[in-house]
Amino acid sequence: MVGWFRRGVRSLRDLQGLKFRVSGIAGNVFEQMGVLATQIAPGDIYPSLERGVIDAAEFIGPYDDEKVGLNRVARFYDAPGFWEPSSRGGLIVNLRAWEALPAHYRNAV
């Protein structure tokens, strides 16, 4: 998931100057889009959103985010998040393309 936002995001323009609790590669990418990426300790996310110190936050996922009440202070929840595509790995490959690969490439995968 992308995270919780105090106001809706409909275009890249809506991201300009947005204060977003996001880190790592996602923070780097969002900064390139004009976001002010910041890191805030988990215990400070809710009060920071509530007081308007930050405009948006990503945390864990829907269940845990709602347990800490992020949905009460930021009503917009956007998805999908590109930096956490899956909690488990998976691979879908065209069978003909797979069979055309040399054995050492298939073994590497």
pLDDT digits (tens, 9 = 90+) for 38-68: 999 999 999 999 999 999 999 988 899 999 9
Q: Judge whether 49 and 6 are in contact, CB under 8 Å.
A: yes
Is the model's pLDDT at 79 over the cut of 80?
yes
Highest-scoring range by mean pLDDT, 25-29, 59-63, 84-88 = 25-29
pLDDT the model gives residue 86: 65
CB count within 10 Å of CB 87 equals: 6
Q: How confident is the model at residue 88 (pLDDT cuts 50, 70, 90)?
A: low
pLDDT the model gives residue 87: 62
- Give all domains of the chain, ordered by start, each with its CATH number: 3-108 (3.40.190.10)
Residue 56, phi then psi, degrees to nearest 5:
-160, 160
β-pairing verdict for 3-5 and 19-21? unpaired
Q: Which residue has the higher pLDDT, 52 or 90?
A: 52
